[in-house]
Amino acid sequence: MLGLTAWSCCAAEEARRWHVEQAQAADAWTQVERKEHAGDTNVWIARGMVADRRAHTLEFVVDATGLGSGAIAEFLVVGEASDKDYEAVTVSFARAADICRGLEFLGLPRGRPTSPERCQFWPQGEYVQATIRQLGRAPSEGRPLAGCLLDQRPHAMLSDRLIYAGSCWQDGICLADATSPGALISTYNEPTAVLEFPDRMPQAEVYGSLVVSTNGGFDRGALLVIALTPDMLPNGVARVAKVSLQVRRRVQADRDGVAGVECVTCSPDPAIGAATNDFQGALERLAALAKAGRDPFVTVSLDDALTVGTARDLARVLAMVEGVAGLRVDSPPAGQLYFKAFLPDERWRARAERPSQPWELHASRNPQGAWNCTLVQILESWSREGQLAPDLQATPFSLGRQEDLPGKIRELIEAQIAGIRQKRAAAGRATSADDLHALATLKRINTIFVFAPPDAPLGAFLPALRLVHDTLPQVHVFVE
C-alpha cells in the first residue's frame, strides 16, 4: 500500500510538471489573442480565456490529465489549484472567476448551484452548449463536451447542455478557484461548481457511474479548447421561472385529500400571472411552462389547516412529477417544511432500525378533542457486556402548549450535561468542552421525527417546529 501511495504521489507530481510546461503555450496563446483583439470592446480576455460577444462564445484553454477510457470522472474541468486533477478529464489555465465574468460579459446571468442544507437540490441557471477540440483546430471541429463521458446508470442519458450555476462567492472570491475541489465543470451536483449538468445528480448517487468514454480520453498534456455558447430562450426570456405554489383547503370541501384543495400559483415574472386552480390545474399550468422551454422552480407552501394525510398525498404527486423535464421543487419559504419531509424512510418508523435516535414529537387528540403534542426523548444504553445493539429508553414529556417545546428540549439537554459532569466529577475526572460534545448525545441531534394521524392538521405541530428550526432543521413526518 505504501508503494502504491508513493507511486500515486510521483505520478501526480509528474502530471503537474507537465501542466506547468504546457502553461507556457497557453500564455503564448493568450498574448496572441490580446494583440489580435487590442482595443476591441466586444472581446474580453483573461489568461487562457477569450469571451467574444460577436461570436457569442467563450473559449478557454485546458490540458488533458491523461484520464483513460473507463476511468471514474468526477470533473470535466478543474482549476490549476485543485487537488482533484486525478479525477478530472482536464485542467484549466483560466481561473473560475474569469470564466464567470466572461460568461456574464456575454450577457449570461449568474445562476445558483445546489445547496442540500438549504433544500436546493437542483442547479439553477441558464444553459450553455459546450464543445471541446484540439488547440489550433477550427471551431467547427469541436465535439460535444458531454461526449467525453459515459453514464453507466440504467436508462440514464447525460444532457448535451450545461447550466451556468456560477459557483459560490465570498468577499469577491470565487470558491471554484479554491484547492478542493476546484470544480469548474462537475459531473455531480457540486455546490461550488461553475457549470454542471441540469439534472439532480447527488455525488453519493452518481459516484462511479460516470466514466471516461471510449473516445473521451486525451493524451496527457494535450492542449485543448473548450467553447461555451449561451443557449438562451428567444427575446431575452429567462429560462428559470420562479413560481410560488400555495396550497390550501377549499372552502366547503366535501372531502379530504388532494381533491379537496385549491392552489394559488404566482410569480415575480409578470409574464406568469396569478391563478387559482385545483391541484391538477396548477400542475398543468406548471407543465405548460416546461413545455415552453422554461424551468419552473417551485416553492411550495401548505396551509396549516391542511391535514397530514393530505400533505403526504400532495408530496407523493410532487415527487412523481418533479424532474428535469418538468417542475423542480425549490427550498421552502420560511416556516414551511420541504415537501419530502412528508415522505420519510418508513424503515425509520421502528426505533431499532434507525442509525441514531432523534427527538420524537407525537400529535394526538385529548378527550376534549383538542390537539396536544408529546415530546419523546430516546436514550441509548450499551451497559450490557457483548451487546450488539443498544437498549433504548424512551421517555415521554407532555407539552402543555406548543410554545413549550424549545424550553423542554433545552431543559433535557442541560440535564444530560449536568449528569455527565456529575459522573465524571465523582470519578475524579475533569470535563472538557470536547468531552461534552462527544458524550452529550442530545446536544448533537439536529433531527426531529413527527408522528401524527392522517386527520391531524399541520397546525397541530408546525408552530412548535418553527420555534426549533434553527437547531432541528431535519424534519420527517410519519403518518400513523
- 218-274 pLDDT, tens digit per residue, is 999 999 999 999 999 998 899 999 999 999 998 776 667 888 999 999 999 998 989
Specify the pLDDT at position 423.
Answer: 87
Over residues 79-93, the mean pLDDT reads 95
Global pTM reads 0.89
Counting the structural domains of the chain, the total is: 3
Specify the pLDDT at position 12.
Answer: 55
Q: Both 324 and 360 in a single domain?
A: no
Residue of 331, 397, 374, 349 lying closest to 121 (CA atoms): 331
Residue 5 forms part of a structural domain: no
Long-range contacts of 411-417 (CB under 8 A, 24+ apart): 412/377, 412/442, 413/440, 413/442, 413/443, 416/440, 416/441, 416/442, 416/443, 417/443
Element at 81 (helix H, strand E): none
Identity of the residue numbered 160: D
Asked which of 232, 259, 289 is the last residue of a domain, the reply is 232
Q: Both 466 and 363 in a single domain?
A: yes
Q: Both 284 and 298 in a single domain?
A: yes
Asked which of 315, 335, 355 is the last residue of a domain, the reply is 335
Specify the pLDDT at position 181.
Answer: 96
Specify the pLDDT at position 4.
Answer: 43
Domain of residue 242: give its range. Answer: 238-335
Establish how many alpha carbons lie within 13 A of residue 176's alpha carbon, considering only the half-sphere containing its beta carbon.
30
Specify the pLDDT at position 15.
Answer: 55
Specify the pLDDT at position 193.
Answer: 97
The per-residue pLDDT of the chain, averaged, comes to 93
Q: How far is 461 from 363, CA to CA, in rounded Å?
A: 7
Specify the pLDDT at position 253.
Answer: 65
Residue-wise pLDDT for 323-333, tens only, equals 988 899 999 99
Sign of the alpha-carbon dihedral angle for 118, 203, 241, 308: negative
pLDDT for 162 beyond 80:
yes
Residue-wise pLDDT for 421-434, tens only, equals 888 888 888 877 77
Residue-wise pLDDT for 281-299, tens only, equals 999 999 999 999 999 999 9
Q: Both 145 and 208 in a single domain?
A: yes
Residue of 419, 197, 228, 424 lying closest to 324 (CA atoms): 197
pLDDT for 310 beyond 90:
yes
pLDDT for 49 beyond 50:
yes
Asked which of 187, 215, 232 is the last residue of a domain, the reply is 232
Omega before 390 within 30 of 0, i.e. cis: no
pLDDT for 6 beyond 60:
no
Q: Both 109 and 31 in a single domain?
A: yes
pLDDT for 103 beyond 50:
yes
| Cell numbers placing 280 | 391538477
Residue 225 forms part of a structural domain: yes
Residue 329 forms part of a structural domain: yes
Of the pLDDT bands very low, low, confident and very high (cuts 50, 70, 90), residue 334 is: very high
DSSP, collapsed to helix, strand or coil, labels residue 60 as strand
Q: How far is 438 from 49, CA to CA, in rounded Å?
A: 49
Contacts of 256 (CB under 8 A, 6+ apart): 307, 309, 310, 455
